[in-house]
């Protein structure tokens, strides 16, 4: 037991060290190493790109089978459809509430800091951007039901996977002994996926180093300077949401120590930061909540994949600040009714948003269209979005974990003695 603890501590420490070293290596390459074939083609777009994205793909390879199996097992374990329904409703209400709170917070901070006032638009590097097609709420609901579950699994459509997995799990629970062999298959396959995840995670320090190094080697600090006020507003809102709103809710609903929670969950936040994808973080979140927080896997295997799909508070914050920033930069005044529209649109747009890097920029165009802001404004923030994307992913997965802990506590599936152990 002691050996396992040391081993895990060693891995998380290595991930943090890799994160810092990767940032330092990227900055050195950007400023001190002259551009050329060796730096750009061999190191940045060769070694860093292949190793970093290879690790990311290995994590993403595991997401669909792991999510499917863990949801089937979670639904089976909960068993009773009434209990499952209660857990589901509580989770969705929590996610939608925190998303609405996040965007409201972002709009408030945006108007406090005024990131777009006095900005010389010509000084900001613009990039081409694509506009997302607006999807009606009715179509969003219908898209949850897969026409072909195999296609849904193949395409990684998380909402469809969640729906089908829960359906299978409920029916397996109802059949009981008659489906014992199938239930056992899913339970064993789920354990296998967890083992595969922990095996891939051994390569995390190297993968994190390469991902971070490539990011900073490409960005440097030059792109940040005209956008400092915008970045400060986003970071402040993310900080308040991650370490303020969530932790207050955790304390109110569970009585647990928020500082202890943050310390235990920090490695997962660091991993989410480096990968910038909620989906790749699912296995590590479930494992950490089980081993360090005492949260039952039958709850986390249901709420965490769901959160990675519909709980995008960090993305909502970016969208709120971006609305204020672009409206100020282009001299467009927004009414209170426009702000309410932004809150509603961004909350609904978060449902079904894929947990992959930079997807927030695509859904942002829907929010802009809703209040008549120029979609071209998105191009202003694209140059520096990668670093913000990494930060908001860390906030997204923290919200998922807090919600899971609260729901587990309310359903008496939280082992407090595990949580109270040392960090």
Q: What is the pLDDT of residues 13-46, one digit of tens each?
A: 777 788 788 888 888 888 888 888 888 888 888 9
Alpha carbons 124 and 398: distance in angstroms, whole number:
32
Q: What is the reported pLDDT for 349? A: 67
If you search the block for the tokens 């969640």, which residue do you land on? 162
Q: What is the reported pLDDT for 362? A: 64
Alpha carbons 72 and 87: distance in angstroms, whole number:
15
Cβ–Cβ < 8 Å for 400, 303: yes
CA dihedral 194, 262, 404, 110 (to 10 degrees): -120
The total number of structural domains that make up the chain: 1
- Answer whether residue 129 shows pLDDT above 50: no
Q: From 110, 356, 358, 345, select the one nearest 235 (Cα to Cα).
A: 110
The tokens for 391 are 């930060």
Alpha carbons 275 and 207: distance in angstroms, whole number:
9
The tokens for 181 are 């062999």
Q: What radius of gyration, in Å, describes the C-alpha atoms of the chain?
A: 21
Q: Residues 6 or more apart from 77 whose CB is under 8 A from it?
A: 296, 297, 298
Q: What is the reported pLDDT for 121? A: 57
Q: Which of 93-107, 163-177, 238-252, 316-330 has maximum average pLDDT?
A: 238-252
Q: What integer is the mean pLDDT of 102-109?
A: 91
Cβ–Cβ < 8 Å for 57, 279: no
Q: What integer is the mean pLDDT of 110-133?
A: 63
Q: What is the reported pLDDT for 137? A: 60
Q: What DSSP line would sit under 306-371, residue for residue?
A: HHHHH--HHHHHHHHHHHHHHHHHTT----HHHHHHHHHHHHHHTTT--SSTTHHHHHHHHHHHHH
Confidence band, pLDDT 50/70/90 cuts, at residue 240: very high
Higher pLDDT, residue 355 or 13: 13
Q: Residues 6 or more apart from 266 whose CB is under 8 A from it?
A: none
What CATH number is given to the structural domain containing 273? 1.10.3860.10
CA dihedral 144, 149, 155, 157 (to 10 degrees): 20
Mean pLDDT, rounded, of the chain? 81
The tokens for 267 are 């490695």
Q: What is the reported pLDDT for 131? A: 47
Percent of the chain whose predicted confidence (pLDDT) is above 70 = 84
Q: From 191, 171, 186, select the one nearest 68 (Cα to Cα).
A: 186
Q: What is the reported pLDDT for 140? A: 65
List the end-to-end C-alpha distance of the chain, in Å, as a whole number. Answer: 15
- Answer whether residue 384 shows pLDDT above 60: yes
Residue-wise burial string across 314-334, b where 16 or more C-beta atoms lie within 10 A, e elsewhere: bbbbbbbbbbbbbbbbeebeb
If you search the block for the tokens 């360090």, which residue do you land on? 292
SS3 93: helix
Confidence band, pLDDT 50/70/90 cuts, at residue 127: very low
Alpha carbons 298 and 112: distance in angstroms, whole number:
42
Cβ–Cβ < 8 Å for 241, 105: yes
Alpha carbons 188 and 202: distance in angstroms, whole number:
22
Confidence band, pLDDT 50/70/90 cuts, at residue 171: confident
Cα dihedral across residues 324, 326, 329, 334: positive or negative: negative
Percent of the chain whose predicted confidence (pLDDT) is above 90 = 15
Higher pLDDT, residue 173 or 156: 173
Domain with 380 in it: 2-420
Q: What is the reported pLDDT for 353? A: 53
CA distances from 31 to 17, 125, 217, 220, 224 (A): 21, 19, 8, 7, 15
Alpha carbons 355 and 280: distance in angstroms, whole number:
8
Q: What is the reported pLDDT for 258? A: 94
How many residues are listed for the chain in this entry?
A: 423
Alpha carbons 84 and 170: distance in angstroms, whole number:
9
Q: What integer is the mean pLDDT of 151-173?
A: 82
354 phi/psi in degrees, rounded to 5: -65, 140
Q: Which of 30-44, 277-291, 390-404 has maximum average pLDDT?
A: 390-404
């Amino acid at each position: 037991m002691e050996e396992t603890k040391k081993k895990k501590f060693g891995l998380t420490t290595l991930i943090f060290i890799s994160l810092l070293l990767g940032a330092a290596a990227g900055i050195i390459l950007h400023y001190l190493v002259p551009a050329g074939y060796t730096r750009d083609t061999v190191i940045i777009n060769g070694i860093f790109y292949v190793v970093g994205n290879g690790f990311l793909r290995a994590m993403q390879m595991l997401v669909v089978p792991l999510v499917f199996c863990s949801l089937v097992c979670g639904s089976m374990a909960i068993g009773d459809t009434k209990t499952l329904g209660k857990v589901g409703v509580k989770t969705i209400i929590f996610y939608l509430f925190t998303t609405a709170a996040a965007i409201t917070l972002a709009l408030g901070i945006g108007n406090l800091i005024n990131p777009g006032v006095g900005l010389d638009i010509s000084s900001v590097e613009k990039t081409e951007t694509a506009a997302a097609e607006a999807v009606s709420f009715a179509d969003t609901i219908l898209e949850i039901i897969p026409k072909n579950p195999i296609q849904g699994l193949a395409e990684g459509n998380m909402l469809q996977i969640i729906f089908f997995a829960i359906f299978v799990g409920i029916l397996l629970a109802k059949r009981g002994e008659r489906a014992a062999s199938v239930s056992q298959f899913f339970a064993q396959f789920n354990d296998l996926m967890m083992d595969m995840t922990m095996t891939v995670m051994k390569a995390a320090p190297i993968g994190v180093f390469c991902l971070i190094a490539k990011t900073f080697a490409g960005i440097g600090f030059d792109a940040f300077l005209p956008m400092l006020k915008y970045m400060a507003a986003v970071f402040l809102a993310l900080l308040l949401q991650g370490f303020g709103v969530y932790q207050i809710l955790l304390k109110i609903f569970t009585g647990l120590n928020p500082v202890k929670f943050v310390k235990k969950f920090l490695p997962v936040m660091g991993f989410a930061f480096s990968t910038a994808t909620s989906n790749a973080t699912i296995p590590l979140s479930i494992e950490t909540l089980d081993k360090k927080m005492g949260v039952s896997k039958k709850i986390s295997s249901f709420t965490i994949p769901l959160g990675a799909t519909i709980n995008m508070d960090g993305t909502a914050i970016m969208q709120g600040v971006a609305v204020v920033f672009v409206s100020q930069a282009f001299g467009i005044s927004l009414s209170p009714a426009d702000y309410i529209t932004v809150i509603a649109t961004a909350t609904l747009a978060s449902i079904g948003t894929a947990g992959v890097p930079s997807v927030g920029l695509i859904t942002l165009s829907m929010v802009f269209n809703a209040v008549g802001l120029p979609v071209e404004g998105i191009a202003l923030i694209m140059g520096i979005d990668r670093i913000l994307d990494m930060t908001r992913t860390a906030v997204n997965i923290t919200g998922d974990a807090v919600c899971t802990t609260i729901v587990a506590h309310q359903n008496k599936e939280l082992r407090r003695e595990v949580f109270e152990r040392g960090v």
